[in-house]
A = this chain, B = another copy of it.
């Protein structure tokens, strides 16, 4: 058994709170003071548990990727549903995440990636953000390349550019969600976007 005084907080709960702050404020905008306050711990506890701001950010980003993005992928492979419907369900599930908060937040990744271009985010964290954003696009591309229905429609030949278009749309909805536009308004955009790559 571990010796010494027990931690008074739960690491997972604290990390989730940190993720929320980074989501709202970005990497630079999230101060250690606000982070620790919202995490319910004080600075030495944060530093001893998570290392430093960058390490905390990397953990928070991984948590976002896992709990808010990667877990949605299954919708794309529901074998019995038409491709269009699977894509719409998947994209709308991402939009739902963008709109889920009362304090409008958009997408953690899109939010923080704008800071990458500013040179404000350390290299390792930048890489992680880029990889996760890429993950969605690659996933869409893979479906459009390999799905039977997609091949039948001839979409596999333009899978890359079509996936890119859908990805652009999702980034656009992320910025809109951050400005307070509700899911209901963004649904029409997804519909039009799917039409744009050739559905109907």
Q: Which chain A residues (146-172) contact chain B, with CB distance < 8 Å?
A: 161-162, 164-165, 167-172
A175–B106 touching, CB < 8 Å: no
Chain A interface residue count, Cβ-Cβ cutoff 8 angstroms: 46
> Is A110 part of the binding interface, using a Cβ–Cβ cutoff of 8 Å?
yes
Copies of this chain: 2
> Is A10 part of the binding interface, using a Cβ–Cβ cutoff of 8 Å?
no
Interface residue SS majority, chain A: helix
B197–A168 touching, CB < 8 Å: no
B179–A165 touching, CB < 8 Å: no
> Is A38 part of the binding interface, using a Cβ–Cβ cutoff of 8 Å?
no
> Is A24 part of the binding interface, using a Cβ–Cβ cutoff of 8 Å?
yes
Interface residues as binary, A83-116 with B (CB distance below 8 Å gives 1, 0 otherwise): 0000000000000000000001110001101111
> Is A16 part of the binding interface, using a Cβ–Cβ cutoff of 8 Å?
no
A165 to B171, CA, bound (A): 12
> Is A185 part of the binding interface, using a Cβ–Cβ cutoff of 8 Å?
yes
Residue of A26, A185, A192 with most chain B CB atoms under a 10 A cut-off: A192
> Is A142 part of the binding interface, using a Cβ–Cβ cutoff of 8 Å?
no
> Is A70 part of the binding interface, using a Cβ–Cβ cutoff of 8 Å?
no
B165–A192 touching, CB < 8 Å: yes
Closest 9 CB pairs of A and B: A196-B196, A172-B172, A168-B172, A192-B196, A171-B172, A165-B192, A171-B175, A117-B178, A195-B196
28 contacts between A and B (CB under 8 A): A24-B117, A25-B120, A26-B114, A29-B118, A105-B117, A114-B114, A114-B178, A116-B179, A117-B180, A161-B192, A162-B192, A164-B185, A164-B189, A165-B188, A165-B189, A165-B193, A167-B172, A168-B169, A168-B172, A168-B173, A168-B176, A169-B169, A171-B175, A172-B173, A172-B175, A174-B175, A175-B175, A195-B195
